[in-house]
Amino acid sequence: MDKALIYLTGLLLICLAAASASAQDFQKRYQIGPGGEVRVHSSSGNVHVSGYDGQEIVVTAYKEGRDRDWVSIADHSDASHIDISSEHPRRNNVHASVRFEVEVPRSQTYEFSNISTSSGDVRVSSITGKLIAHSSSGNVTVADVSGAVNATSSSGNVSVTNAQGDVNANSSSGNVGVNNARGEVSARTSSGDVEVRISQLKPGASYDFGTSSGNVTVSVPAALDAEVSMSTSSGSVNCDFPITVQGKLSPHRIHGVIGGGSGKIRMESSSGNVTLRRI
């Protein structure tokens, strides 16, 4: 009985090891110079990029789903850039996805020119360099990026936190949130709420916020110095700051100057409340 138990235990360990090995379908390490381009796209599946303390860029891919053997990983990288994507066969009812996990040296500057998925979520954290992140159907979450951020979703929520550069956050259908921003910010959605907190204003910068259906709430430091335009077709307009109003005063619209008016802030909603708060 003991020999049989030992045999079964060994067989189980072998099976577990085989399952673990097969779970990882692609892994490769890259070394590219500062400013090198990084492009990772999944035709169906999540993409996660994160900074770490190593010296190489590590790309790992996991095929998932019933038809996982039908999809492939395409690597068009060279010494100056990384270009990796998943490829699906041209046929219907393929139940498979490819999940990418990418580790990059957090202190090295790269150009993340395309971190995207056609169906899934995109998450990026703790990287240095310009970032373009997009999901055609899913959420986009960005945190702790030292560089300009362009984060968009065709159908999902967009969240950007602790960006050390200008931010463009846009969703065709979903909520948009920007927190602890330090650069110029544009945040818009066609259907959802926009909520922005700017911890440090950029002198003379232009800020643009809007939604076709939802509330717009923006929080800024007390030292605001800008020309402000706030409007809503159906809702209220609220401002915590003393403002020198220009033109007619309306419950659905405010246009005026706060401080010297060196910068610009535009906030608008077709259906919802518009609020400018003091931090």
- Can you tell me which residue has the tokens 């030992």? 6
Rounded to two decimals, what is the model's pTM?
A: 0.90
C-alpha count within 13 angstroms, C-beta hemisphere, residue 267: 31
Question: pLDDT digit of tens for each residue in the chain (279 aa)?
Answer: 455 544 444 444 444 444 443 467 999 999 999 999 999 999 999 999 999 999 999 999 999 999 999 999 999 999 999 999 999 887 778 899 999 999 999 999 999 999 999 999 999 999 999 999 999 999 999 999 999 999 999 999 999 999 999 999 999 999 999 999 999 999 999 999 999 999 999 999 999 999 999 999 999 999 999 999 999 999 999 999 999 998 777 889 999 999 999 999 999 999 999 999 999
Tell me, what's the pLDDT at 89?
A: 83
Q: Which helix (H) or strand (E) holds 191?
A: none
Burial 11-47 (b: 16+ CB within 10 A, else e): eeeeeeeeeeeeeebbeeebebeeebbbbbbbbbbbb
Strand order, beta sheet including 26-30: 26-30, 57-64, 97-105, 47-52, 122-128, 140-146, 158-163, 176-181, 194-198, 216-220, 274-278, 237-239
Rg (CA), the chain: 24
Tell me, what's the pLDDT at 269?
A: 97
Q: Which helix (H) or strand (E) holds 13?
A: helix 2-23
- Distance linking the first and last C-alpha atoms of the chain: 71
Give me the residues paired with residue 226 across strands: 258, 263
